[in-house]
Amino acid sequence: MKFVTAILKPFKLDDVREALSEVGVTGITVTEVKGFGRQKGHTELYRGAEYVVDFLPKVKLEVAVTDQQLDAVIDAIAKTANTGKIGDGKIFVSNLEQVVRIRTGETGAEAL
Amino acid sequence: MKSTLPPFFLCALLSFSGWLSAEESATAAVTVADLAAAAAPVANKGDTAWMIVATVLVILMIIPGLALFYGGMVRVKNMLSVLMQVFAIFAMIAVLWAIYGYSIAFTEGNAFFGGLSKVFLKGVTPESMAATFSKGVVIPEYIYVVFQLTFAAITPALIVGAFAERAKFGAVLMFMVLWFTFSYLPIAHMVWYWAGPDAYTDVEAGAKAAATAGFIFQRGALDFAGGTVVHINAGFAGLIGAIVIGKRIGFQKESMKPHSVTMTMIGASLLWVGWFGFNVGSNLEANGVAAMVFVNTLLATAGATLSWMGAEWIDRGKPSMLGAASGAVAGLVAITPACGFVGPMGSIVLGLIAGAVCFWAVTSLKNMLGYDDSLDVFGVHAVGGMLGALGTGIFAAPALGGTGVYDYVANAVGAYDMLAQVISQAWGVGVTIIWTSLVSLISYKIVDATIGLRVSDESEREGLDIREHGETAYNL
């Protein structure tokens, strides 16, 4: 099993959610986050006082998938979230050791 | 607050009893109202109704207008402290105005201070009348008292923007008592106190009446609605305050972004609307001049909004809402002394100049001089006020579409000497700057030595709302 974490532009979230449903993902977790990468921040000016805003609003999406689903999931996120402009975000993939469905006690791939 | 209350009240008492002993022997003057009563002119119901509306509009400028305009510009942790300072100052000055303020500002005394003949509003009744700018036209003295009360209340409230986010609440109140008593009242007397038009029956009587007027009035300075009394007065008090209290912790290092430009826009809009009461009401009559003042107030403000916006667009790349709101206030300030003397085109030009110059003052001048005037009381009110006061001398010229200066002895508009008028205006500006700066400096030092001006570093970090008032602005 793999755990996929993706950082996205907020306005791309709905498109990505739909694309993930189409490849069989049944649950995702979304958090509103702030951060910066190569896009860096922007500056704001208030009556001549200049403030550098380093952290831009992004969406963090987390999804647990089976090894078989992984490529399709990465592909779906990468294609839908792409605008070609700097700041589109990143996808991180890590190994997932265990999953438990709390209600039934199921474990492993059955719990996804 | 426990430690701050006794000195604050003591101070109010001392300043008050000081007046009593100093002025006790002054003979009760024959006042405007007395003269008017002798001829028994009756107030026009239209004028009276307009003045009631105008007074309400000026109250709207203070609460919530100015409070929101300022409140939006501070950080969220200090929102209530600003709202509360403006709200409490309004209430406190209202009471002080009735007790001794009106008498010291608007009764005959010497050239700098009025007398004490109307302390506790003695002699003011539904029948007593106040003079206007037309012979034989009066308004009820009660509405004049309360209209002027609102001016006395908004002026100290303007100052709080300069040291916002770091001053003790008790210190703010104590300073305002001192400053109101020793700066606002004498400047108002110097600029606005005169015997009224009915006293100018002939050259001799006119000269005699003129000798009883306030010092700046006698110099011939024109100030229709308070460029010197309100804006230069408050603007320099703010500058001195920002310097004496010192910079906010983290100034130019940490983000001090306005917490709600939306609130600031609402506040600026209420100020703009309310200012029609302020400026048009200053005509004291609902007539053609009042209508002209309305037009001038609207056009100068529009001009200043556009010029600040344009200057910012060119200089910084983007036209901001905060900039537009600031430009509007700069225009309102600049047209305040001029609005009854200039024409509509003069107003537009004055507004265009004020927007660009005040933009420069808050973006460049402030950085050059390095003081932390949190909400730009100096850059907008003092700079805009000086522009307006001096500009009045230029644009009041009939050749530039102005009204000129009315001669109450000849009962006609007199010949206009622009240079002489600008010099008169400079007298008003100069005397106000020196007077308010000295009074402010001494008053801040007295407050600092007794209860301390500034909150602790810890309070400043956590925010004045929690530490000074025990509440938070938004519990969402």
Q: What is the pLDDT of residues B110-157, one digit of tens each?
A: 999 999 999 999 999 999 999 999 999 999 999 999 999 999 999 999
Is A43 in CB contact (< 8 Å) with chain B?
Answer: no
Give the chain B residue nearest A44 (alpha carbons): B257
Question: What region does B156 belong to: left with phi over 0, alpha with psi -120 to 50, or beta?
Answer: alpha
pLDDT in tens, B192-240: 999 999 999 999 999 999 999 999 999 999 999 999 999 999 999 999 9
Tell me, what's the pLDDT at B253?
Answer: 85
Distance CA B222, CA B191 (A): 8
Most confident of A24-38, B38-52, B303-317: B303-317
Give the nearest partner residue to A48 out of B73, B318, B363, using CB atoms.
B363
Whether residue A14 has pLDDT greater than 70: yes
Is residue B287 classed as helix, strand or coil in its secondary structure?
Answer: coil
**Contact assessment for residue B303 and residue B331, using Cβ atoms and an 8 Å cutoff:** yes
Is residue A107 classed as helix, strand or coil in its secondary structure?
Answer: strand
Tell me, what's the pLDDT at A5?
Answer: 97
Give the chain A residue nearest B315 (alpha carbons): A48
Residues of A in contact with B73 (CB under 8 A): 46
The amino acid that residue B232 corresponds to is I
Closest CA relative to residue A61, chosen from A100, A33, A86, A36? A33
Give the nearest partner residue to A46 out of B252, B258, B364, using CB atoms.
B258
Which of A34, A43, A47 is the best mutation test for B, with the most CBs of B within 10 A? A47
Yes or no, beta carbons of A48 and B367 under 8 Å apart? yes
Phi then psi for residue B248, to 5 deg, are -65, 150
For residue B330, what pLDDT band results from cuts at 50, 70 and 90? very high
Yes or no, beta carbons of B362 and A47 under 8 Å apart? yes
Distance between A101 CA and the closest CA of chain B, angstroms: 34
Is residue A63 classed as helix, strand or coil in its secondary structure?
Answer: strand
Q: What is the mean pLDDT of residues B293-309?
A: 98
Whether residue A94 has pLDDT greater than 90: yes
Structure tokens given for B292: 């002209």
Distance CA A56, CA A12 (A): 15
Is A51 in CB contact (< 8 Å) with chain B?
Answer: yes
> What's this model's pTM, rounded to 2 decimal places?
0.85
For residue B31, what pLDDT band results from cuts at 50, 70 and 90? low
Strands in A1-112 per DSSP E = 2-8, 29-35, 42-46, 49-53, 56-65, 89-95
Whether residue B406 has pLDDT greater than 80: yes
Burial class (CB in 10 A: 0-12, 13-18, 19+), B457: exposed
Distance between A95 CA and the closest CA of chain B, angstroms: 39
Whether residue B78 has pLDDT greater than 50: yes
Distance between B184 CA and the closest CA of chain A, angstroms: 29
Interface size, chain A vs chain B, as Cβ–Cβ contacts under 8 Å: 26
Give the chain A residue nearest B253 (alpha carbons): A51
Yes or no, beta carbons of B252 and A49 under 8 Å apart? yes
Distance between A47 CA and the closest CA of chain B, angstroms: 6
Is residue A92 classed as helix, strand or coil in its secondary structure?
Answer: strand
Distance CA B100, CA B129 (A): 19
This model of the complex carries an ipTM of: 0.70
Distance CA B225, CA B216 (A): 14
B34-65: b (≥16 Cβ within 10 Å) or e = ebbbeeebebbeebbebbbebbebbbbbbbbb
